[in-house]
Amino acid sequence: MADWDTIWINTSLATMAVTGNSYGQVKNGAIAIKNSRIAWIGLMETLPKKPEALASNVIDATGKWITPGLIDCHTHLVFGGSRVGEFEQRLQGASYEEISRNGGGIVSTMAATRNASEDELIKAGIPRLSNLIREGCTTVEIKSGYGLETSAELKQLFAARALGATLPVNVQTTFLGAHALPPEFKGRQGDYIEKVIEEMIPAVAENGAADAVDAFCENIGFTAAETEGVFKAAQAHGLPVKLHAEQLSDQGGAALAARFGAMSADHLEFISEDGVRAMAAAGTVAVLLPGAFYTLRETQLPPIDLFRKHGVDIAIASDFNPGSSPMPSLLLMLNMSCTMFRMTPEEALAGATRNAARALGVDADRGTLEVGKLADLAVWNIEQPAELSYWAAYNPLDMLIQGGTVVDFEKELTLPGVMA
Ligand code: DI6
Ligand code: FE
């Protein structure tokens, strides 16, 4: 009997493991899987026997590259309605902050999300998540934060979990109750935070609905002190934390997140060097979101050189949401992070694989091609890995393997509610 289930041969691998050579690459190599995990990786010439003697299924991948399945570590993809009207208002000169202060923004998506049933949220989420999968994503994080009351937050998180159970993708969920102040708490922000702490986090933990807790620490969101209360409650319930920090202004959020051992701090255009130092010391990943930067026409770049200088790992994510990043495409983010943020294509790919896995705390199993990790692989029709950042609005994915199983796009993504 063959040792392995499947082997891909005559291929190039960007393992993204830290091996000292660029992309952790193995040229003229092979990768074998057994029981949903990676069983062997190496050069063709070091295969112990003929491929047919080693695996029941041999796939010739001549001319292709295999990378880890991509990981989108920051999305808000479960929501009701859209914000196309605000898009048009911004084109007329209104700013994102003005719209938010006038009762639009996150709160308008809250209303549409509260009005939607869990089934409706799942249906709306299927084509969005399918779009990420078609581009090579095998893990996607989904946040709540458009319910802003216990039952509606849980509904969003359950919809996110159901999407992960329905589609061939690993979904990690994050509770973001401290995203915006719901209108019924106007003038009583402290009371709302108390509700997040006393009622929502315990309910989320009790239901096993979230893998992490996030907050929006910002002048139009919550203060550092309020965020700290949320973090303490999360930790008391055994949930790791992450933070929307320094997106529009410097609130010291990244340093606070680091103090709580946060897995990531996200956005960070306005972070100070002290904030970067604190993240480095805590091993907190910097998640950069070029889609929001582009959509809001931001001009202050995140300080990539400071992250490099202090050795902070950088991840890249879509931030897919109806307001500031209506773009469910991680490949587009790879291109934007190079063109707009001047990251290298190798940094960008590490940001959507190895470092994104760290930002979600799933790096023991995912994010690189290494023996023992889950077989989440993306096979690409490209000649060099930098092409994943080079092309835009073009998808060179050839094949996707989720937990050792080849994804059948026709069958598995053609579900009721999936747009053709
Ligand atoms: N920052 C973001 O990028 C999203 N949430 C946040 O706090 C945007 C959410 C939205 O505008 O709907
Ligand atoms: Fe976000």
State in Å: Cα 186 to ligand 2 middle. 22
Domains of the chain: 4-68+368-411 (2.30.40.10), 70-360 (3.20.20.140)
Contact 40, 87 (CB under 8 A): no
For residue 42, pLDDT over 90 is answered with yes
Q: Are 11 and 20 in contact (CB under 8 A)?
A: no
For residue 123, the tally of other CB atoms under 10 A from its CB is 17
| 106 CA → ligand 1 middle, Å | 7
Q: 69 near 402, Cβ under 8 Å?
A: yes
- From 249, 324, 325, mutation site for ligand 1 pocket: most ligand atoms within 8 A of C-beta: 324
CA distances from 294 to 132, 243, 326, 335 (A): 19, 20, 11, 12
Q: What is the pLDDT, as a whole number, of residue 420? A: 39
pLDDT at 415: 63
- Say what the pTM is: 0.97
Give, to the nearest 10 degrees, the angle between helix 150-166 and helix 106-115. Answer: 70
pLDDT at 259: 98
State yes or no: pLDDT of 155 exceeds 70.
yes
Range 134-139 average pLDDT: 98
Percent of the chain beyond pLDDT 90?
A: 95
Ligand with an atom nearest the CA of residue 319: 2
Quick one: which atom of ligand 1 is closest to the CA of 247?
1
**Side by side, which strands form the sheet with 242-245?**
70-72, 137-143, 170-178, 212-217, 242-245, 264-267, 285-288, 314-316
Cα 282 → chain centroid: 20
Of residues 102 and 234, which shows the higher confidence score? 234
- pLDDT value of position 103: 85
Q: Work out the average pLDDT over 175-187.
A: 97
Ligand 1, pocket residues at CB < 6 Å: 76, 105-106, 109, 179, 216, 244, 247, 292, 319, 321-324
Q: Ligand 1: which of 321, 325, 327, 333 to mutate, most ligand atoms within 8 Å of CB?
A: 321
Of 335, 271, 282, the C-alpha closest to 313 is: 282
Kindly report, residue by residue over 308-328, the tens digit of the pLDDT.
Answer: 999 999 999 999 999 999 999
Residue 62 token pair: 């001549």
Q: How far is the CA of 100 from the centre of ligand 1 (A)?
A: 10
For atom 6 of ligand 1, which residue has the closest CA? 216
Question: What is the residue-averaged pLDDT of the chain?
Answer: 96
User: Which pLDDT belongs to residue 419?
Assistant: 47
The confidence score (pLDDT) of residue 36 equals 97
Beta carbons of 365 and 309 less than 8 angstroms apart:
no
- Are the CB atoms for 207 and 144 separated by under 8 Å? no
Helices 150-166 + 118-134 axis angle, to 10:
40
Which SS3 state, helix, strand or coil, does residue 132 take?
A: helix
Which ligand has the minimum distance to the alpha carbon of residue 294? 1
Tens-place pLDDT, residues 242-281: 999 999 999 999 999 999 999 999 999 999 999 999 999 9
pLDDT of residue 2: 81
Residues of the chain with pLDDT > 70, as a percent, come to: 98
Mean pLDDT of 166-182: 97
CA end-to-end distance (rounded Å), the chain: 42
- By most ligand atoms within 8 Å of CB, the mutation choice from 76, 110, 294 for ligand 1 is 76
CA 215 – ligand 2 centroid, Å: 9
Q: Show Cβ contacts of residue 344 under 8 Å, excluding neighbours closer than 6 positions.
A: 338
